[in-house]
């Protein structure tokens, strides 16, 4: 049997039809129709590596997600006294960060998403609406 590195390196040489066949073998289902050959190869490579090395410990995966570039660790913490300003459809909206949450239009809200939804009339991610970095 060849090494994992050799198997992974050989994947792009299989072409689309070969990758689809290999996907069927490893996942026991047809590959998603929209997957490009690159995505097929990545999915198969992940499966091969996971089979040989094992899965990432769930506790470590959570830690990486919160401390790394993933969700949770990258967004700056807003502190009381911070002010968020957003110009939307010709009007300027100002939200102040307070101990209890977020103050907008003389009312306090628990999340920025509540305020963004109130302003736009549709569901919005509050951090995204106010332009906070991911």
| Residue ranges of domains in the chain | 4-55, 83-129
pLDDT at res. 72: 47
Three-state SS for the chain is CCCHHHHHHHHHHHHHHHHHHHHHHHHCCCCCCCCCHHHHHHHHHHHHHHHHHCCCCHHHHHHHHHHCCCCCCCCCCCCCCCEEEEEECCEEEEEEEECCEEEECCEEECCHHHHHHHHHCCCCCHHHHCCCCC
Q: Residue 69 corresponds to which tokens in the numbers above?
A: 């570039």
pLDDT at res. 1: 54
Q: Between 98 and 124, where is the model more confident?
A: 98
Q: Between 64 and 89, where is the model more confident?
A: 89
pLDDT at res. 20: 95
Q: Give the mean model confidence (pLDDT) for residues 100-119.
A: 94
pLDDT surpassing 80 at residue 61: no
pLDDT at res. 74: 52
Long-range contacts, stretch 112-115, CB < 8 angstroms, 24+ apart? 112/84
pLDDT, tens digit (0-9, with 9 covering 90-100), for 3-57? 888 989 999 999 999 999 999 999 999 999 889 999 999 999 999 998 888 888 8
pLDDT at res. 134: 65
Please state, for a pLDDT cut of 70, what percent of the chain lies above it. 90
Q: Between 78 and 104, where is the model more confident?
A: 104
pTM above 0.85, yes or no: no
Please state, for a pLDDT cut of 90, what percent of the chain lies above it. 59
Burial class of residue 7, CB neighbours in 10 A (0-12, 13-18, 19+):
middle
């Amino acid at each position: 049997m060849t090494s994992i590195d050799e198997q992974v390196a050989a994947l792009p040489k299989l072409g689309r039809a070969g990758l689809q066949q290999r996907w069927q073998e490893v996942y026991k289902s047809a590959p998603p129709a929209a997957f490009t050959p690159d995505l097929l190869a990545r999915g198969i490579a992940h499966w091969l590596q996971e089979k040989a090395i094992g899965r990432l410990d769930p506790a470590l995966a959570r830690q990486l997600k919160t401390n790394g570039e993933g969700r949770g660790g990258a967004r700056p913490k807003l502190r009381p006294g911070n002010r968020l300003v957003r110009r939307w459809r010709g009007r300027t909206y100002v939200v102040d960060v307070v101990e209890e949450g977020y103050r907008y239009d003389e009312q306090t809200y628990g999340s920025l998403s509540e305020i963004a939804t109130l302003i736009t009339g549709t569901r919005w991610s509050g951090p995204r609406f106010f332009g906070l970095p991911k």
